[in-house]
Amino acid sequence: MTDTRNAQADLARDLSATCRLTGRFVLRSGRIADEYFDKYRFEADPVLLDRVAAGLAELVPPGTQVLAGLELGGIPVVTALARHVGLPCAFVRKTAKAYGTARLAEGAEVAGRRVLVVEDVVTSGGQVVISTGQLRELGAQVDHALCVIDRAEGGAAALAAHGIALRALVTRADLDGAR
């Protein structure tokens, strides 16, 4: 148990050191923040991304059939996670493309399957709610979402209001404690 706690603390410290930026940032929700977690910094580091995926693998709910990564930051995370758990992936666009297959969810079929939505950072939960609604319209059964960082700014509650349980690898408190 201590080894797991130490590994979790080490990962939180490394994520914080790699992707925590300070300044003035406009978030997707429109809110202004003085801190930003630049997920592309850990997603671009193959060793750190693999450690993230290994940690996330322990949080995948039993019975999950498809991992659905949200455009754009969720795509590298879901791909790395799939290598650890051996599940197929769907890559979920913000809007269906207007050419070719014109699909919203590319890759694995989601209709009639238990789908786990995978996101990089959750703040308000807005994009997860939107994408989950779209996946449900396609026939997916979505009850859970998984994220690398939960900023703990209302996202989990917003998701719960839509029947989605959020599981996070690290929270804002974990990152703050790792400083």
Query: Which domain CATH number covers 97?
Result: 3.40.50.2020
User: What is the total count of domains within the chain?
Assistant: 1
**Cα(113)–Cα(34) distance, integer angstroms:** 40
What's the CA gap between 32 and 133, in Å, rounded?
Answer: 26
> According to the annotation, is 3 in a ligand binding site?
no
Q: Tell the residue number behind the tokens 């807005």, with chain if given.
A: 126
By the 10 Å C-beta count (0-12 exposed, 13-18 middle, 19+ buried), 25 is classed as: middle
Rounded distance between C-alpha atoms, residue 73 and residue 52, angstroms: 13
Q: What is the pLDDT of residue 114?
A: 98
- Bridge partners (DSSP) listed for residue 17: none
The pLDDT, as a whole number, for residue 99 is 86
Dig out the tokens for 53 from the structure.
């995926």
Say whether 172 counts as a known binding-site residue. Answer: no
pLDDT digit string (tens) for the chain, length 179 residues: 567 778 889 999 999 999 999 999 998 778 898 999 999 999 999 999 999 999 999 999 999 999 999 999 999 999 999 999 999 999 999 998 888 888 999 999 999 999 999 999 999 999 999 999 999 999 999 999 999 999 999 999 999 999 999 999 999 999 998 87
Q: Per the annotation, does 124 bind a ligand?
A: yes
The answer to whether 35 is a known ligand-binding residue is no
Q: State residue 118's pLDDT score.
A: 98
136 assigned to a ligand binding site: no
97 assigned binding-site residue: yes
28 marked ligand binding residue: yes
Domain that holds residue 25: 2-177
The predicted structure's pLDDT at residue 4: 73
Q: Any known ligand binding at 125?
A: yes
CA angle 44, 66, 53 (to 5 degrees): 30
Q: Which residues contact 100 (CB under 8 A, 6 or more apart)?
A: none
CB 57 within 8 A of CB 79: no
The pLDDT score that the predictor gives to residue 128 is 97
Q: How many CB atoms lie within 10 A of CB 55?
A: 20
Q: 0.75 cut: is pTM over it?
A: yes
- Tokens standing for residue 63: 């019975």
pLDDT for 3: 74
- Confirm whether residue 143 is marked as ligand binding: no
pLDDT of residue 20: 93
103 is in an annotated binding site: no
Specify the pLDDT at position 2: 62
